[in-house]
Amino acid sequence: MNSYLSMSDEVRQALADGKPVVALESTIISHGMPYPQNVETAMRVEQTIRDHGAVPATIAIIGGKLKAGCTAEEIEYLGKKGQAVIKASRRDLPVLVARGEDGATTVTTTMMIAAMAGIRVFATGGIGGVHRGAETTMDISADLEELAQTQVMVICAGAKSILDLGLTLEYLETKGVPVIGYGTDELPAFYTRHSGFGVDYRIDSPQELAKAFKVKQDLGLQGGMLVTNPIPEQYSMPAKVINNAIDEAIAEAQRLGIKGKKTTPFLLAKIKDITGGDSLAANIELVLNNARLAAQTAVALTKM
């Protein structure tokens, strides 16, 4: 597998020296935001991680190589190419690599490549999960399966509120994935701090997060750990506003027959339009917030 993995010099040296490294996904660059905000946000996220003592490793597939650590030029390339870059989940990796193509990594593939490289902490926006109506569509994100089998801590703002949050939590419980609320007893719902659903445990410091994850590794337990970090209060959107926008976006997706991997990018773009761009601003702030916590946790983990 190492022959397919390409680490930047900075990431390789940091890992060799036992320094903290934080993985970042690339779907948020190509599919999550429009250009140039996507590139600007990606660079701000990387700088935030550096400012808090860790090394950023933006992960992507470029020219058939699994990249752990993208250059500024590669991030610009992914941002400009946008949705023309294939959104790559686990099933897509062998064909994309074999063909020498590009791919934007989801939570699933970012976890996979991070684990290959030896990176244990990953900051993202929100995870995928069980979609509304999954009892008939069977639309369940591969992110949940990856959390069940790959030893990476994922720090996010909760599950995207376009999902069925109750069923997502049930699925994670079945798979034995600990769902941690950072400074909260309630599962945050991406754009908003509140969902009405509880988490498994509340943890209030990066040091305790690091310790819990280290113990999980020491015990040889399979799978990752999900840390849900609420969007800062000043950027949180009213639940009623965002839920109405989600309902409208879902109805439009159903009317247009949009399914599969196209669903989430369509819904996020539609919600941005409905909310007059407020959801995009919230998305940027929650990613930066998660990057800060991920860097602090990665630093604490290297000291154990």
pLDDT tens-digit series, residues 35-91: 999 999 999 999 999 999 999 999 999 999 999 999 999 999 999 999 999 999 999
pLDDT score at 92: 96
Alpha-helical regions (H) of the chain: 9-16, 27, 37-51, 72-81, 93-99, 107-117, 134-137, 142-149, 165-174, 206-218, 239-256, 263-274, 278-302
In angstroms, the CA 148 to CA 182 distance is 20
- Please state the pTM of the whole predicted model: 0.92
Cβ atoms of 177 and 251 closer than 8 Å: no
Residue 160 catalytic?
yes
Tell me the residue range of the domain where 251 lies: 2-302
Per residue in 195-239, pLDDT (tens digit) is 889 999 999 999 999 999 999 999 999 999 999 999 999 998 887
Cβ atoms of 278 and 237 closer than 8 Å: yes
The CATH number of whichever domain residue 282 belongs to comes to 3.40.1790.10
The number of CA neighbours under 13 Å toward the Cβ of 277 is 2
Residue bearing the bigger pLDDT, 251 or 132 = 251
How many CB atoms are closer than 10 A to CB 17? 9
Rounded to an integer, the average pLDDT of 169-177 is 96
Name the helix (H) or strand (E) containing 153. strand 153-156
Question: Which of the four pLDDT bands, split at 50, 70 and 90, describes residue 243?
Answer: confident
Structural domain total, the chain: 1
Of the candidates 46, 76, 146, 160, the residue annotated as catalytic is 160
Rounded to an integer, the average pLDDT of 185-192 is 91
Residue bearing the bigger pLDDT, 291 or 250 = 291
